[in-house]
Amino acid sequence: MLVLGIESSCDETCCAVVRDARDVLSNVISSQHDLHAEYGGVVPEIASRAHVEALLPVLRESLKAAGVELSNIEAIAVGNRPGLIGSLLVGVAGAKALSLALGVPLIGVDHIQAHLYAPLLGDDAPDEEVYPALGLVVSGGHSSIYRCDSALEMVRIGSTIDDAIGEAYDKVGVLVGLEHPGGPKVDKLAREGDDRAFDLPISRLGKESIDFSFSGLKTAVLYRVKGVPGKNETPPELDDKRRADLCASFQRAAIGAVLLKLERALEQMSERPKSLLVGGGVSANSRLRADLKDFGERHGVAVRVPAMQYCLDNGAMIAGLGSVRLGAGLVDDLTLEAVPTTGA
Ligand code: KG4
Ligand code: ZN
């Protein structure tokens, strides 16, 4: 079964062709980062217009790279939620047009569920080895923990009460003078820094809470860069060493909070999960990947992180989960809507 996946929820236009739910034949991503860099964040109007321009070239390239014709495609999957409404609408409209023209099923996919499916792409582990699983989504818009009974059945057991972790990375990036999106650059710079140079707060919340909060940490970095309001002290100049130390210390606190909440979630699960599924752009982070590996070894849980090309937004995760939905008979029609919030 060949499924085409379309993803356009934020600032990446993506098309991918996936065979039999796990085998990725092509995964083409056109990023708009350059268009948004000068604004220090994604501008929704610019994003939707750029999706309109990119969708057809990206579609053609994904078919060519997969070595298939449009007429070989047996279903169209599209990320229809959550995301920027104008951006989502472009992908959804394109998917509907293709489904109608080709006479093949249309399948709406939740982007968050798809991030938790991304670790299974290119993997042949049977579902019985994967589920029940603990799920961690760490992206630019979400930071949540799930109990997953299958690729389609999950219950959210923790989420952020303010910023998403990727958002905090990006804001810290701006504060230390890195170009948007700052996440990958903070990751890189942190490798040269001392993660104990600054004592930044690891958010714990209530004793048993598995929710996240990253706004206090972000403010703590702000104070180290600009000084504490009301105090007449000018912080030292932000030279390369201080910048790297701040990035490293920020990472220690941000990832420390993620690990703490995973420990608590594991303690609170009635049934021991067979694996920890991780997804979202921040799952590309080198320190998080290393710390999760340790976590898995300490707790005897198989940690499944996506291959690097499936961490950030991509069409393969949409096509993959779309195939699973199709297999379960969960097909949509032309009334499919773009929805700004997740259903997961
Ligand atoms: O999943 P994603 O592509 O988009 C959303 O669904 O939000 O995630 C994008 C986020 C951005 O905030 C970006 O800075 C962050 O993932 N990110 C990283 C790294 N690579 C991407 N954050 C930390 N370390 C990285 N290596
Ligand atoms: Zn995403």
pLDDT number for residue 41: 87
**Percentage of the residues of the chain whose pLDDT score is greater than 70:** 100
Report how far ligand 2's centroid is from the alpha carbon of 236 (Å): 36
Dihedral pair phi/psi, residue 55, rounded to 5°? -55, -50
Give residues (CB < 6 A) around ligand 1: 10, 139-141, 166, 169-170, 181-184, 187, 280-282, 284-285, 312-313
Portion of the chain with pLDDT greater than 90, in percent: 97
Q: What is the pLDDT of residues 310-327, one digit of tens each?
A: 999 999 999 999 999 999
What is the structure's pLDDT at 35? 95
How far apart CA 271 and CA 213 sit, in angstroms, is: 27
CA of 240 to the centre of ligand 1 (A): 23
Enter the tokens of residue 109: 């996919």
Ligand 1 pocket test: pick from 109, 312, 341 the residue with the most ligand atoms within 8 Å of its Cβ. Answer: 312
* Cα 324 to Cα 145: distance, rounded to the nearest angstrom: 21
Q: Does 112 score more than 90 pLDDT? A: yes
Q: How does residue 254 score in pLDDT terms, banded at 50, 70 and 90?
A: very high
Please give the distance, rounded to the nearest whole angstrom, from the Cα atom of residue 113 to the centre of ligand 2.
10
Peptide bond before residue 82 is cis, with ω within 30 degrees of 0 = yes
Ligand 1 center to residue 275 CA distance, Å? 22
User: Hey, what amino acid is at 51?
Assistant: H
Looking at ligand 1, which atom is closest to the CA of residue 115?
A: 1
Classify residue 338 by burial, with Cβ atoms within 10 Å: 0-12, 13-18, 19+: buried
Examine the pLDDT at 232 and tell me if it is beyond 90: no
Residues 88, 31: Cα–Cα separation, whole Å: 15
Instruction: Output the six-digit token pair for 58.
Output: 């990206």
pLDDT for residue 264 is more than 90? yes
**Would you say residue 187 has pLDDT above 90?**
yes
What share of residues in the chain are helix, strand, coil (percent, to 5)?
Answer: 45, 20, 35
For residue range 151-166, list pLDDT tens digits in order. Answer: 999 999 999 999 999 9
Taking the model in full, what pTM does it have?
Answer: 0.97
230-235-240 Cα angle (round to 5):
150
Q: How far is the CA of 52 from the centre of ligand 2 (A)?
A: 19
Q: Which letter does DSSP use for residue 140 in this model?
A: S
* pLDDT in the model for residue 40: 84
Instruction: Give nearest CA residue, ligand 1 atom 23.
Output: 183
Q: Which of 109, 161, 142, 129 is nearest to 5 (CA)?
A: 109
Report pLDDT digits (tens) over 48-82: 999 999 999 999 999 999 999 999 999 999 999 99
Instruction: Give the number of whichever ligand sits closest to the CA of residue 306.
Output: 1
- Mean pLDDT value across residues 236-245: 96
CA-wise closest residue to 59 among 21, 98, 20, 115: 98
Neighbours of 14 (CB within 10 A): 29
> Could you report the per-residue pLDDT of 118-137, keeping only the tens digit for each?
999 999 999 999 999 999 99
Instruction: Summarize pLDDT for 17-57 with one digit per residue, the tens.
Output: 999 999 999 999 999 999 998 898 899 999 999 999 999 99
Give 197's contacts (C-beta < 8 A, 6+ positions apart): 245, 246, 248, 249
What is the C-alpha to C-alpha distance for residues 41 and 170, in angstroms, rounded to an integer? 8
**What are the structure tokens assigned to 234, written together?**
């000018």
Dist CA 140 CA 183 (whole Å): 9
Q: What is the pLDDT of residues 266-303, one digit of tens each?
A: 999 999 999 999 999 999 999 999 999 999 999 999 99
Q: Look up residue 58 and give its amino acid.
A: V
Buried b (16+ CB within 10 A) or exposed e, 130-148: bbbbbbbbbbbbbbbbbbb
- Say what the pLDDT of residue 36 is: 93
Residue 218 has what pLDDT? 97
pLDDT of res. 127: 97
Query: Which residue has the least CA distance to atom 21 on ligand 1?
Result: 281
